[in-house]
Amino acid sequence: MSVAKSIDTTDIANEMAMIGNRARDAVKIIGQAMPDQKNKALLESAGALRLKTPELLAANEEDMGVAEKRQVAPSLLDRLKLDRNRIDAMALGLEQIARLTDPIGEVMKSWKRPNGLNISRVRVPLGVIGIIYESRPNVTADAGGLCIKSGNGAILRGGSESYYSSAAIMQCLKIGLKNAGLPEDIVQLVPTTDRAAVSEMLTMSEYIDIIVPRGGKSLIKKVQEESRIPVLAHLEGLCHTYIDGDADPDMAKEIVLNAKMRRTGICGATETLLIDCDVAPDFLPTICSALAEAGCELRGDKATQALDNRVRIATEEDWRTEYLEPVLSIRQVDGVLGAIDHINMYGSNHTDSIVTKNKAKAEQFLNGVDSAIVMHNTSTQFADGGEFGMGAEMGISTGRLHARGPVGVEQLTTFKYVVRGAGQVRP
């Protein structure tokens, strides 16, 4: 399997423009392609991933070798690593995307005007999507697959550490497209690890309709600052669980344990526990013990420390921190209004949950918290496109425009109005 070449840095602007032109040509085809043809491309891509597993492992070994020499962090090495299971998971992901309902052409709404004009709002692809990501090679398959399904072109720029792995995965997507009779340029990988290519991408508004960054805070920040193209960004998941005075104590304990500890590294993990000060003395000792036994470090306000001496005093910075680790900050608040105020001040508009038996207080919380996802009596770890039944996702948008929450195939579309008349003119 051949791997895309590296290019001369002086030619980056030209090369990127050529990529852009090829993408524009390709979207004219994929935007009008029939569901069966797009699904065939996805299934053939999955087949290619399985068939080419030895080549994928070899390309990944090349990346791993370079990364190990550079002594990168073990967590990065783990994200970078491909094995048979992970390759199979990518193939399964593409097969799952193929089974999703095709969003394109859906008549979202249709109505007739008194003058007889028929107006429909019809779902169409966004166009060309630029995806900038770090070192998870599987993003190449996931994001590429979501773009194919939603009739979009994709220009992918992966992290330099995963370059060979991503290029090998990209070849499998191109095999799938080709076998389905679609242009290979529907998905393209930027063939250089030069950072100048990212800056170039972010100004290519004539070729790229939207930028989706996937990665850490500093990548997202750079993209948001530099981009002249609209950005669909997932900033961070500073999620809260609030235990109300009317909560069931056992349910509260189970939910908090799951929300914090099931997986601490995902964006839907709870980072701060808020609790009604009225029930804190009753509820917190059991909850803190359960968390500590599960290996969670506890930080909290003074009132919480007074209940459990394992609790370190939290600083102002703690309320603003997405730990992504087995650390939890705990604060006692004055009922549901205190919880809403804390969340709207310190949260990241991602996912926040209330535990209570009191329906009125639940509704107050669900209305008052200004986040993409608000929950009642369940774990913030459910903040996930798959768990929502939307299939694979590009990420979870914390912005307010276009897409909010999980970004699946439907969120990668826009619409047009189709007006059908019989010769009507405007008076």
Residues within the interface to a copy of itself (CB under 8 A): 32, 111, 113, 117, 119, 124, 126-127, 209-210, 230, 248, 251, 254-255, 257-259, 262, 353, 362, 366-368, 370-379, 381-382, 387-389, 399-402, 404-405, 414-426
Residue placing its CB nearer to a copy of itself in the complex, 127 or 137: 127
Residue placing its CB nearer to a copy of itself in the complex, 115 or 289: 115
- Strands (DSSP E) found in 113-215: 118-125, 128-133, 153-157, 187-189, 210-214
Residue placing its CB nearer to a copy of itself in the complex, 248 or 322: 248
Residue placing its CB nearer to a copy of itself in the complex, 125 or 159: 125
Distance of CA 266 to the CA centre of its chain: 10
CB of 259 to a copy of itself, least distance (A): 8
Pair of tokens at residue 413: 């579309």
The three-point CA angle 332-338-340 to 5° equals 120
Residue placing its CB nearer to a copy of itself in the complex, 87 or 287: 287
Residue placing its CB nearer to a copy of itself in the complex, 312 or 402: 402
CB of 91 to a copy of itself, least distance (A): 23
| β pairing state of 187-189 and 118-125 | unpaired
CB of 397 to a copy of itself, least distance (A): 10
Distance of CA 277 to the CA centre of its chain: 35
CB of 381 to a copy of itself, least distance (A): 4
Provide CB contacts within 8 A for 162, sequence distance 6+: 63, 80, 134, 135, 136, 137, 140
Q: Which run of H or of E encompasses 351?
A: strand 351-355
CB of 248 to a copy of itself, least distance (A): 7
| β pairing state of 239-243 and 351-355 | parallel
Q: How many CB atoms lie within 10 A of CB 165?
A: 30
Q: In the chain, what is the greatest distance between 2 CA atoms, to the nearest angstrom?
A: 79
Whether residue 180 contacts residue 170, with contact meaning beta carbons closer than 8 Å, is answered with: no
Query: Which 8-state DSSP code applies to residue 6?
Result: P
CB of 59 to a copy of itself, least distance (A): 33
Residue placing its CB nearer to a copy of itself in the complex, 138 or 353: 353
Q: How far apart are CA 295 and CA 205, in angstroms?
A: 48
Question: 3-state DSSP call for residue 75?
Answer: helix
Place of tokens 């399964």: 92
Q: How far apart are CA 84 and CA 91, in angstroms?
A: 11
CB of 427 to a copy of itself, least distance (A): 8
Residue placing its CB nearer to a copy of itself in the complex, 169 or 182: 182
CB of 61 to a copy of itself, least distance (A): 33
